[in-house]
Amino acid sequence: MSTNTPDPHPTSLEELRNALRGFAAARDWDQFHSPKNLAIALSVEAAELLQHFQWTPEAESTTLNRDQQAQVREEVADVFLYLVRLADKLGIDLMSAAADKIELNSAKYPIEKVRGSSKKYTEY
């Protein structure tokens, strides 16, 4: 196994980011990975994931059969891979961006004000 083969078993976001860097570099695919193109790819994969729930009644969407679960797991992975890759290209640390957003959301939706209400969700 050559030294620039990406590690197929990352265990942290940093290792995953590095694995994807290696994967693209080994294939000379960086030329295609502009933030614009990666944002398109992310959006396309998110839609492929959504497609699995397209006609499923909401209540049934929690109980996928084995085949559905395997397919959905792959789509979830695709979204994750493109998200990690895009964040890398933009110099964004995913975990700290997430932490900051949770803080913003905590302030925006105070527990005592929104508890049990769907107001946020409909916004009308």
Q: How far is the CB of 9 from its own copies (least distance, A)?
A: 5
Minimum distance from residue 39 beta carbon to its own copies (Å) = 5
Is there binding between residue 3 and its own copies (CB under 8 A)?
no
- Tell me the two tokens of residue 122: 């409909």
Using CA atoms, how far apart are residues 124 and 119, in angstroms rounded to an integer?
Answer: 8
90 Cβ contact list (under 8 Å, min separation 6): 35
**Closest CB 29 distance from its own copies, rounded Å:** 8
Taking a C-beta distance cutoff of 8 angstroms, is the pair 105, 75 a contact? no
11 makes contact with its own copies (CB under 8 A): yes
Asked if residue 108 binds its own copies (CB under 8 A), the reply is no
Query: CA-to-CA distance for 79 and 43, rounded, in angstroms?
Result: 8
Output the smallest distance, CB 1 to its own copies, in A: 11
Residues 70-89 that bind its own copies (CB under 8 A): 71-74, 76-81, 83-84, 86-87, 89
Site for its own copies in 17-46 (CB under 8 A): 19-20, 23, 26-29, 32, 34-37, 39-44, 46
Q: How far is CA 118 from CA 50, 90, 115, in A?
A: 22, 34, 8
Find how far residue 96's CA is from the centre of its chain. Answer: 15
Per rule CB under 8 A, count of chain residues that contact its own copies: 85
